Amino acid sequence: MAEAALLALSKIGSYAAIEATMVAKSKISNLMELSATVQRIRRQFLMMNFFIRKMGASYLSDELLKGWIAEKDKFLNKIVKGSHYAVVFNGIADELIQIEKDIEHVSKLKDMWVHPVSQLIPTQVTVSEQRFPLYNFPQLMKDEDLVGMDNYRQHLKQLLGPKIPALGVISLWGMGGMGKTTLVINVYEHHKEEFDINRELQEALTQKRYLVVFDDVWDRRAYDGIHDVFVDCRNGSRIVITTRRGDVAALAHKGCQLKLNPLELKDALLLFCKKAFPNSNDLEYPLKLQELATDIAKKSKDSSLTECPSELKELATDIAKKCKGLPLVNYSQLKDLAHDIVKKCDELLLEKLPSERHDLATNIVNKCKLFPLAKCSSELQKIAVEIVKKCGGLPLAIASIGSLLSARMQLECVWKQIYDQLPCELEKDDQVRGVLTLSYYDLPGELRNCFLYCSMFPEDYLLSREVLVKLWIAEGFVVKKGDSTLEEVAEGYLMELVHRNMLQLVHNDELGRVRICRMHDILRELALSISKAELFGTANNFSEMVQMNTNVRRLSACRWKQTKHDVSKIKFPHLRTMIALESFTDFVPSMLSESKHLTVLELQDSVIDEVPPSIGDLFNLRYIGLRNTAVKCLPDSIEKLVNLQTLNAKSTKIEKLPGGIVKLYKLRHLLADRLSDETRMEFRYFCGVEAPKGLSRLEELQTLETVEASKDLGGQLEKMIQLRNLWIDNIKYEHCTELFASLSKMPLLYSLLLCASDEKEKLNIENLIPTSTMLQKLIIRGCTAERTLDCPMFQDYGGNLKYLALSGCHLENDPFEALASCVPNLTYLSLNKVHSNSAQTLVLPAKSFPLLKTLVLRNMSDVNVLKIEDDALPCIEGLYIVSLSNLKSVPEGIECLSSLKKLTLLGLHNGFKAEWKMNQMHEKMKHVTELRVE
């Protein structure tokens, strides 16, 4: 909250500087003192900010401090009403004089009440206790209670073994509540006797084999400051670290880092049942299953094993029959159990090992614990599954809610109420709240706002790096550091949140950056709770909006349906941010007319076809998001938005931008194009917009996607030296010479797309000779000369490229051989409708493309043979072969791609599918996690 106040004061200060001339000309004394008053108040807020940070999370339980902070926030609502008119600044100056007096009064109240009351508290609070909320240390859990952690436990046991004599550091990491500490305690208790010293640091460490555990480490320096004590005597000693942070986990070697992931639904349900039905012992399980499982366990101990497999099959049949009458079969839990048992029975006929029978019997007994839930009504089962899903595989949350329900009646209405109030119930749980808030309050101040902001998006929403970065900058969360751009700093913030497990990585892009991430549901609920308490923002459905505090600053209105209510009556005069994704936006005109201080307007994927002219009155607007909407044009009034930084109108119906857009000198990102073919089958399935006259006046522009080529475009682009990302469409042959010469001079160019006017239009790239050492991503769509790869772009500069996509180009006889030599450092390569003189056989040469992670081959009908030679593509993770209609045989050497994770083979010759099946390729490609052959 203090960060928001400081941000507002910075804005007031900058506006005051802008109006300095008008102030000097005026004779209003208050205006002459405005700058000094702002600085004095800013210092007050700085001290308040330092105080809050010093107190850390402890103020959450201190109502006096809450009240003080709430009073401070009232000042913020007054301060941020700035405008660029001197008469308004005069009003601000008058209010600031009163605000300064109010701050002094509130500060005195704090000194009068907060400090004396804290003296009355008898218990001494340590610095660490002040910083973080308390939570109980997990107790030792039995082996069978470590649900879904068998693999982690086995891996940890192996790493603790004495096979490797060197002193080893082992790290377990993952978000709070994942079970890191619980797992380590369990394994520690089982194996501590194998080590000579396992509890205290003594001089004897140099002679003994020891095991030391550092639990919940937040900073590498905590280990760096003490690691010299641990002398490596090559006797197999071990150091185990649990942490939530990736940089701390990296203290261990790659093979000794255990990343704990959320539980799968099957294991999550099992853990839930253990906690929700703690008294469902043997008498509660179906008697037949329990007796048979016990009998199997007994028989596994003697040598008479002949009847065991048949009994196991009878058990499997019995379970299968019961599954047919149980609603839980919809969630595949019991059905999977039956199939698993049948499979193991067949294996037992061949290998009659008592240990296998015993393990199987134990597995059956454990999985029988799901039967208390199976005996419940189908409605209760569905609620249970939804509760478990809501917990997102987080063991701590699942166990907490399960334990809570164990003391409640097994009625649909009771469980439904708990589900509806799940965030509140988890927040009341000291253990859950303590563990999760630790992560939040360990964040630096600049990251807290960024984290809270992510909660403005819906549950399970896929957060784009490009969008988040621009939004954070528009909100003013990002402060420039050194020579880095604001965008680079913001990307660093995002990486930090991922490393701290506050956001979950979904996909990296082809250049190794975060592309997509998401927020865990439980962490989102935590963030929403904090956001509401600190008046940061709120996410609501429409029915709740009418009851909302109209002083809210940020509002998320995602996935709202059309309503018959009169939305014009709902007003939010202090609103700064409106995020409405996938919604009916009939409330937007009212919002724009009433919310004069709006900074961010995000309407991606929403139902809107017209932007009201009143948008031009929003002087503070920095971000407009219209992506994937039906908007046909932008109003001329947009030229008044002099503070606009980002306009995202990609995949709309806009063909031409208003001429006045070139007056927006602060514009950093301009994205606008028209999706003309949703099937993406046409060559130009998206079309750029006509470049407005005077485009070169946008000197701060970093991103321009997508603009149509013209005779004078090259001359305009030559002056735009800040451009980093540039997409150009509808290029004709006569444009190439001047246009490509201008592109060559751009010093900061990073990503470039060139698209011809049609498939037959030749793009002469001889003049494309980049001076930028930053160009890593190149997309060329259109016909090129036969010896394209002999151009300077590839011969002299190709080594810098990481991402290359060619569509409709003409290359050499075998393009892979030429590409392997001129662009050896690619991480992504896509060839679509690429032609060559003789392309029936494609060969990936031995040891070629050592860094390539993704290879895409599309629409190359001439190719009938594909060979992958030894040690080619050693890092490949994704291989996509689509619409190679004459590819009759399985690519030679494909089974040797051991790093492959995703393989897609679509639209190939019928002979290919037959050979794939005949060669049992599915068995050979078991290491591929996502395999699709059609």
Spatial distance between the Cα atoms of 357 and 303, rounded to a whole number of angstroms: 12
Categorise residue 177: left if φ over 0, alpha if ψ from -120 to 50, beta otherwise. left
The CATH topology of domain 264-279+376-439 is Helicase, Ruva Protein; domain 3 (1.10.8)
Spatial distance between the Cα atoms of 189 and 582, rounded to a whole number of angstroms: 52
Residue by residue, what is the 3-state secondary structure of 175-214?
A: CCCCCHHHHHHHHHHHHHHHCCECCCCCHHHHCCCEEEEE
181 DSSP β-pair partners: none
* Model confidence at 752: pLDDT above 90: yes
pLDDT-derived band at 141, boundaries 50, 70, 90: low
Higher pLDDT among residues 45 and 114, named by residue: 45
Q: Is 422 helix (H, G, I), strand (E, B) or coil?
A: helix
Look up the CATH number of domain 802-933.
3.80.10.10
* Model confidence at 197: pLDDT above 80: no
pLDDT-derived band at 777, boundaries 50, 70, 90: very high
Measured CA to CA in angstroms, residue 215 lies from 197, 200, 243, 827 at distances of 18, 15, 7, 37
Residue range 109-132, pLDDT digits in tens: 556 555 554 444 444 333 333 344
CB 749 within 8 A of CB 724: yes
Phi/psi of residue 346, each to 5°? -65, -35
Q: Where do the structural domains in the chain lie, given as residue ranges? A: 1-113, 149-259, 264-279+376-439, 285-372, 443-536, 802-933
CB 754 within 8 A of CB 728: yes
Q: pLDDT at position 155, please?
A: 81
Q: Which residue pairs, CB below 8 angstroms and at least 24 apart, start in 255-258? A: 256/159, 256/168, 256/169, 256/170, 256/171, 257/170, 257/171, 257/173, 258/152, 258/155, 258/156, 258/170, 258/171, 258/172, 258/173
Spatial distance between the Cα atoms of 67 and 117, rounded to a whole number of angstroms: 14
Choices 3.40.50.12780, 3.40.50.300, 3.40.50.800, 3.30.1330.10: CATH for 149-259: 3.40.50.300
CB 617 within 8 A of CB 596: yes
Residue range 276-316, pLDDT digits in tens: 887 665 434 444 444 444 554 454 444 333 444 454 445 44
Q: Is domain 443-536 annotated with CATH 1.20.1050?
A: no
Determine what percent of the chain is predicted with pLDDT higher than 90.
28
pLDDT-derived band at 394, boundaries 50, 70, 90: confident
**What is the DSSP code (8-state) at residue 584?**
B
CB 266 within 8 A of CB 333: yes
803 DSSP β-pair partners: 777, 828
CB 577 within 8 A of CB 475: yes
Spatial distance between the Cα atoms of 33 and 39, rounded to a whole number of angstroms: 10
Residue range 510-562, pLDDT digits in tens: 878 899 999 988 888 888 888 887 778 887 666 566 556 667 788 888 877 76
The whole-model pTM stands at: 0.75
User: Any residues with CB less than 8 A from the CB of 158 and at least 6 apart, and which?
Assistant: none
User: Any residues with CB less than 8 A from the CB of 912 and at least 6 apart, and which?
Assistant: 887, 888, 889, 890, 905
User: Any residues with CB less than 8 A from the CB of 253 and at least 6 apart, and which?
Assistant: 168, 169
Phi/psi of residue 426, each to 5°? -70, -35
**What is the DSSP code (8-state) at residue 564?**
-
User: Any residues with CB less than 8 A from the CB of 326 and at least 6 apart, and which?
Assistant: 334, 374
Q: Which helix (H) or strand (E) holds 103?
A: helix 86-120
Best CA proximity match to 80, nearest among 596, 638, 589:
596
Higher pLDDT among residues 542 and 274, named by residue: 274
